[in-house]
């Protein structure tokens, strides 16, 4: 499943010695993580292990207590404003419920990031927004709708369309299939794979969904004990004998997902 030949060894995200602390509650301690260009990395972990916090830290939405985060060679934490803005145009984030601007239509939402591009004609911007909406698998008339009129799955697709509006190199997905029905979830899995292959994306994906891990991810990173416990492919995960990891990948649900993937 892993498109191994496409992966180069270039590291695009490198986290070193990360520590996140809220009050006296330490979420991450001495956390290291590397993400390679072109791969789809799935981050898993129990509730409250700070998966979303890790995503937010790498995307620069949250300042860690200590440690370093380097994305495409730029130190996210110490970069000046201008470098950061340039960097932010090279990644996209899809939040859990899409986080679409509720006062704008879906098309306007997708246009928002493109408005910053100098010399782009409005008609072309609209046409490109329609293209993204269609590439995200939404029907053509979804562009005129407001987020409140869409179902949860459609909002996620619209959120993905907006995250991809500037053809980023890295896209962060926070629980992309949470709350979707199984058909919608596997369609979304396919969409992620298709788009990431077509556009050469690096995907950083936080998920709970074992089917997604099987269907989509090249590599898996397990967050436990406040750090990235292990990383590796699905096959390697099955051999890890840490109790939580074993339970996660050998539980009844995991086995069902594994059987489904094997078919």
Partner 1 sequence: MTDEREHLMILNDEEGDLTVMLTGDLTLPQASALHRALTELPTNRDARLDLSGSGRFDTAGAWVVARARQRFAAAGHILTITGANDTTDSLLGAVEDAMPVPATRPKPRTGIGARLDGLGRAVASGARFGMALTGYLGIFLARLGRSIRHPGEFRLTALVHHCHEVGFKAVPIVSLMAFLIGVVLAFQGSAQLRQFGAEVFVVDLIAVSVLRELGILLTAIIVAGRTASAFTAAIGSMKMREEIDAMRTLGLDPAMVLFVPRILALLLMLPILGLIANLMGLFGGALMAWIELGISPAMFYTRLVEGTDIGHLMVGTAKAPVFALIIGIVGCHAGMQVESNAESLGRMTSNAVVTAIFAVIVADAMFSIFFAQVGI
User: Interface with partner 1 by CB under 8 A: which residues?
Assistant: 102-103, 114, 117-121, 124, 127-128, 130-135, 140, 144, 147-148, 164, 166-167, 194-195, 197-200
Compute the least distance from the CB of residue 205 to partner 1, in Å. 19
Nearer to partner 1, 148 or 262 (CB): 148
CB nearer to partner 1: pick between 61 and 131: 131
- Helix (H), strand (E) at residue 200: none
CB of 109 to partner 1, least distance (A): 14
Rank residues 28 and 107 by Cβ distance to partner 1 and give the closer one. Answer: 107
| Region of residue 23 (phi > 0: left; psi between -120 and 50: alpha; otherwise: beta) | left
Name the CA dihedral angle for 126, 132, 133, 138, rounded to a multiple of 10 degrees: 150
- 153 three-class SS: helix
Distance CA 209, CA 215 (A): 10
Strand partners, 136: none
Name the minimum Å distance from CB 117 to partner 1: 5
Query: Position of tokens 């979707």?
Result: 180
Closest to partner 1 by CB, 166 vs 224, is 166
- Quote the CA–CA distance of 10 and 200 in Å, as a whole number: 13
- Least separation, in Å, of the C-beta of 6 and partner 1? 9
10 Å CB burial of residue 189 (0-12, 13-18, 19+) is buried
Closer residue to partner 1 in complex, CB, 146/244: 146
Tell me how far, at minimum, the Cβ of 220 lies from partner 1, in Å. 25
Count the neighbouring beta carbons within 10 Å of the beta carbon of residue 132.
25
Q: Which is nearer to partner 1, 3 or 48 (CB)?
A: 3
Distance of closest approach, residue 75 Cβ to partner 1, in angstroms = 24
Q: 191-214: string of b/e by CB count within 10 Å (b at 16+)?
A: bbbebbeeeebbbbbbbebbbbbb
Contact between residue 176 and residue 207 where contact means Cβ atoms under 8 Å apart: yes
DSSP 8-state assignment for residue 176: T
Nearer to partner 1, 119 or 252 (CB): 119
How near is the Cβ of 59 to partner 1 at its closest, in Å? Answer: 21
């Amino acid at each position: 499943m892993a498109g191994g030949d496409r992966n180069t060894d270039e590291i695009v995200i490198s986290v070193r010695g990360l520590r996140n602390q809220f009050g006296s509650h330490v979420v991450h301690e001495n956390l290291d993580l590397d993400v390679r260009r072109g791969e789809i990395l799935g981050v898993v972990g129990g509730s409250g292990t700070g998966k979303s916090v890790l995503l937010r830290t790498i995307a620069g939405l949250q300042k860690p207590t200590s440690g370093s985060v380097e994305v495409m060679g730029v130190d996210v934490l110490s970069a000046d404003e201008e470098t950061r803005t340039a960097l932010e145009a090279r990644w996209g984030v899809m939040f859990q419920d899409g986080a679409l601007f509720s006062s704008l239509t879906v098309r306007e939402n997708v246009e928002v990031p493109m408005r910053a591009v100098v010399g782009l004609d409005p008609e072309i911007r609209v046409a490109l927004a329609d293209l993204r909406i269609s590439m995200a698998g939404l029907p053509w008339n979804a562009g005129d709708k407001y987020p409140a009129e869409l179902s949860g799955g459609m909002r996620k697709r619209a959120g993905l369309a907006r995250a991809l509006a500037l053809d980023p190199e890295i896209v962060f997905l926070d629980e992309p299939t949470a709350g979707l029905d199984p058909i919608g979830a596997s369609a979304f899995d396919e969409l992620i794979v298709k788009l990431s292959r077509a556009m050469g994306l690096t995907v950083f994906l936080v998920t709970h969904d074992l089917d997604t891990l099987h269907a989509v991810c090249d590599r898996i990173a397990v967050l436990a004990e406040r750090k990235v416990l292990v990383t590796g492919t699905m096959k390697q995960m099955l051999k890890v004998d840490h109790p939580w990891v074993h339970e996660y990948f050998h539980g009844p649900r995991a086995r069902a997902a594994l059987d489904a993937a094997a078919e």
